[in-house]
């Protein structure tokens, strides 16, 4: 990754946050919400800009495995994240985003992104002339972006991996927000809805406070997210988008951008936006408990794992 004898320079800041209570009321209006096709491209101007890590309760736990899902993809492009896990374990510190049934968001500031792994197949196609790999969607869930995605990564050749890899010179720093992905089956319970909302809210508040340490105004804080918990854990896309949007407003975030992947991902985001006014009484200040009641009444259900 680096030229011989060269090492990345700079300071990385790692923080782990305890769970705080939800505010008693929700009011819309402070956060600009938008959606974009595709996946994270990160930012060359990263002050106050955060990208989610759809985390396992064990922080960056699968980075050395033959799997290549969102968590592993992000760690591969930011290899220092794997080193952070190893340091925490060596020092007998908790490498966790959830403990004792409670989420504990982890934030990593200024971690260098040292390469880009193209899972869409565009890079490999351009380099080798191969037909571009297709995105295959089953039940609204991306199940295969390319021969490098998910469990298929273990079957990929070194040539396939290297053809999809671009080294960044110089590396570009990113800010990573790791929050534990929820799990469940059947209909979402009120307790599950509350826990998901509280997890997102506390993670977003932590991102705002960390940004303010770097003299970034709350209105300039930007969070990039996607289908958090909707792959291997089978979360409901519409509900997960809805709860993240509510959490961003509650946390006072300036902007939330949801990357919805392939075109079929646009509909769940649109549905989530349509539900916002329904559950918050058209944006008027609304009791949080009442909003959670309204969301529960919509009877969202867990889906199925995509196998990755």
Q: Give 205-262 pLDDT, tens digit per residue.
A: 999 999 999 999 999 999 999 999 998 889 999 999 999 999 999 999 999 999 998 8
User: What pLDDT sits at residue 150?
Assistant: 74
User: What pLDDT sits at residue 121?
Assistant: 55
CA distance 222 to 250: 14
User: What pLDDT sits at residue 130?
Assistant: 31
CA distance 201 to 215: 21
User: What pLDDT sits at residue 299?
Assistant: 95
User: What pLDDT sits at residue 8?
Assistant: 59
User: What pLDDT sits at residue 296?
Assistant: 96
User: What pLDDT sits at residue 109?
Assistant: 95
User: What pLDDT sits at residue 262?
Assistant: 84
User: What pLDDT sits at residue 122?
Assistant: 54
The domain 13-297 is placed in CATH, from the list 3.40.50.280, 1.10.274.10, 3.40.220.10, 3.40.50.720, at 3.40.220.10
Half-sphere exposure (Cβ direction) of 77: Cα atoms closer than 13 Å: 25
User: What pLDDT sits at residue 231?
Assistant: 85
Identify whether the C-beta of residue 100 lies closer than 8 Å to the C-beta of residue 144.
no
Positions of the chain with pLDDT lower than 70, given as ranges: 1-9, 120-147, 282-283, 307-308
User: What pLDDT sits at residue 47?
Assistant: 87
């Amino acid at each position: 990754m680096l030229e011989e004898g060269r090492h990345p320079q700079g300071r990385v800041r790692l923080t782990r946050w305890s769970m705080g209570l939800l505010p008693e009321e929700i009011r819309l209006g402070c956060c600009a919400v938008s959606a974009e096709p595709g996946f994270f491209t990160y930012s060359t101007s990263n002050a106050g800009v955060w990208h989610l890590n759809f985390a396992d309760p064990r922080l960056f736990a699968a980075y050395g495995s033959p799997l290549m899902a969102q968590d592993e993809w992000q760690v591969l492009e930011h290899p220092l994240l794997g080193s952070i896990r190893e340091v925490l374990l060596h020092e007998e510190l908790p490498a966790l985003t959830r403990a004792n049934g409670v989420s504990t968001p982890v934030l990593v500031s200024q971690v260098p992104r040292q390469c880009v792994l193209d899972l869409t197949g565009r890079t490999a196609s351009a380099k080798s002339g191969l037909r571009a790999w297709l995105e295959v969607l089953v039940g609204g869930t991306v199940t295969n972006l390319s021969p490098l995605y998910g469990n298929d990564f273990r079957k990929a050749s070194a040539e396939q991996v290297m053809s999809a890899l671009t080294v960044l010179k110089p590396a570009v720093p990113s800010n990573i927000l790791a929050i534990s992905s929820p799990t469940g089956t059947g209909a979402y319970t009120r307790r599950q809805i509350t826990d998901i909302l509280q997890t997102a809210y506390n993670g977003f508040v932590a991102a705002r406070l960390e940004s303010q340490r770097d003299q970034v105004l709350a209105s300039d804080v930007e969070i990039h997210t996607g289908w958090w918990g909707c792959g291997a854990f089978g979360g409901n896309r519409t509900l997960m988008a809805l709860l993240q949007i509510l959490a961003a407003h509650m946390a006072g975030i300036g902007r939330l951008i949801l990357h919805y992947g392939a075109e079929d991902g646009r509909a769940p985001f649109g549905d989530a936006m349509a539900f916002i006014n329904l559950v918050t009484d058209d944006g008027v200040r609304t009791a949080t408990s009442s909003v959670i009641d309204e969301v529960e009444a919509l009877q969202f259900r867990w889906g199925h794992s995509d196998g990755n």
